[in-house]
């Protein structure tokens, strides 16, 4: 059985490719998860907060609350974006980079609104 924190499954990804594969399967109907991220001082591999941010924008997911976990890691809540069209300048810039690289999805575009990929 998987670990659960505050009603959501705790997951971990060693690299951004595995995170992206998981997001392709999870879709926008998923309730969300807590992603275990390793601290910079940890010797264990994991995606970074930046990886979570970028892939989340690509798929219309959002990172929010952070909780302490242990000395080596923390938990970051990660779920489908619920409010449409609320894109900060940073998120719009990342979305434009994802568009240029061909990595932005329809779900990501819909979540960030019509100006998501424009600079």
- Three-state SS string across 36-64, please? EEECCCCCCCCCCHHHHHHHHHHHCEEEE
Q: Any idea where the domains of the chain sit in the sequence?
A: 4-112
**Mean of pLDDT values over 84-95:** 84
Q: Hey, which residues does 67 pair with through a beta bridge?
A: 75
Q: Determine the Cα–Cα distance for residues 98 and 17; give it in Å rounded to an integer.
A: 15
Residue 77 pLDDT > 70: yes
**Range with lowest mean pLDDT among 38-47, 48-57, 63-72, 107-116:** 107-116
Whether residue 53 contacts residue 63, with contact meaning beta carbons closer than 8 Å, is answered with: yes
Residue 27 pLDDT > 80: yes
Residue 115 pLDDT > 90: no
Q: Is 101 helix (H, G, I), strand (E, B) or coil?
A: helix
Work out the percent of the chain whose per-residue pLDDT is above 90: 79
């Amino acid at each position: 059985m998987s670990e659960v924190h505050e009603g959501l499954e705790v997951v971990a990804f060693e690299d951004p490719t595995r995170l992206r594969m998981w997001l392709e399967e999870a879709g926008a109907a998923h309730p969300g998860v807590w992603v275990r991220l390793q601290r910079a001082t940890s010797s264990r591999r994991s995606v970074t907060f930046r990886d979570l941010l970028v892939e989340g924008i690509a798929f219309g997911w959002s990172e929010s609350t952070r909780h302490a976990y242990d000395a080596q890691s923390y938990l970051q809540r990660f779920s489908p974006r619920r409010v449409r069209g609320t894109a900060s300048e940073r998120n719009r810039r990342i979305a434009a980079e994802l568009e240029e690289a061909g990595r932005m999805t329809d779900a990501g575009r819909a979540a960030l609104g019509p100006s998501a990929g424009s600079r």
